[in-house]
Amino acid sequence: MKSAIILFAALSAASALPVSREPSSRSIRATYVATIEKVPAGVGRLEVWVPLPTDTEFQRVRNLKVDSPYPGSVRREREHGNSYLYLSAMQPRAGRLEIRVSFDAERGEVVRPALTLGSRREPRPQDLSRYLQPNRLVTLSPRVRDLARRITWGKTTVEGKAHAIYTWLVNTMLYDKTAPGWGMGDTERACDVQKGNCTDFHSLFISLARAEGIPSRFVIGFPLKKDPAGTIPGYHCWA
């Protein structure tokens, strides 16, 4: 994805206020562009997958429009319910391919009173079990489990363990996009070289949290600025 152009229709920035207040929200109008710089000549079939914004508990998407030189279809993956554009073109034209997606969205602030210190816990949804399992890159190898135990030693609460993992991570990992293999979200590589981008940071955090029985998941999106208009050069991810 090349860039995102964001026009904010309203602005209500989140701040560290008591959780008893009403959550803030903001409305945006956004256009983002997916680009393939050079489609090779002679390609028999080209397939493209472009992520699309999705309605959630805290987000409502309207007026979604796709501008593409080839027809496509909007699909939804089964496990997480994320929407995406699927495009398939036979004998595509060589050269630059650009797909533009525009939409309006209202985004609400996520406030979870039950996560504040000393409050009662929310019931755990049954489907959180998937966020305790390893996958191909976000591993739960013996050394990951051992590292998680050492980092959280003496911590008895979920909040205490999560904060210990966070503190260790920011004091150990180096944000660096020069070493080969960065940006893949490979937990084992992150343990080896202790550097990478946000994807690598969060994959390691997720592995360590899951090793301690804390459900954790990977979320990706645009980091909205406070400015009323501007360009966001790329994505950001969170755990």
Q: φ and ψ at 175, to 5 degrees?
A: -75, 110
Cα(132)–Cα(153) distance, rounded to whole angstroms?
Answer: 20
More confident residue, 80 or 159: 159
Cα(187)–Cα(129) distance, rounded to whole angstroms?
Answer: 20
Identify the domain containing residue 142 by its residue range: 129-214
| 103 and 134 housed in the same domain | no
Is 37 a member of any domain?
yes
More confident residue, 115 or 154: 154
User: Is 41's pLDDT higher than 90?
Assistant: yes
Q: φ and ψ at 62, to 5 degrees?
A: -135, 160
Taking alpha carbons only, the member of 103, 107, 108 closest to residue 52 is 103
CATH of the domain at 165: 3.10.620.30
- For the stretch 67-107, pLDDT in tens is 999 999 999 998 888 999 999 999 999 999 999 999 999 98
Is 139 a member of any domain?
yes
8 Å CB contact between 26 and 10: yes
| 98 and 8 housed in the same domain | yes
Domain count, the chain: 2
Residue 65: partners with Cβ closer than 8 Å, 6 or more residues away: 101, 102, 103
The pLDDT, as a whole number, for residue 147 is 97
| 177 and 150 housed in the same domain | yes
Is 219 a member of any domain?
no
What's the predicted TM-score (pTM) here?
Answer: 0.74
> pLDDT-based confidence at 11, cuts 50/70/90?
very low
| 93 and 184 housed in the same domain | no
User: Is 130's pLDDT higher than 60?
Assistant: yes
| 156 and 207 housed in the same domain | yes
- For the stretch 187-226, pLDDT in tens is 999 999 999 999 999 999 999 999 999 999 998 888 888 8
Is 123 a member of any domain?
no
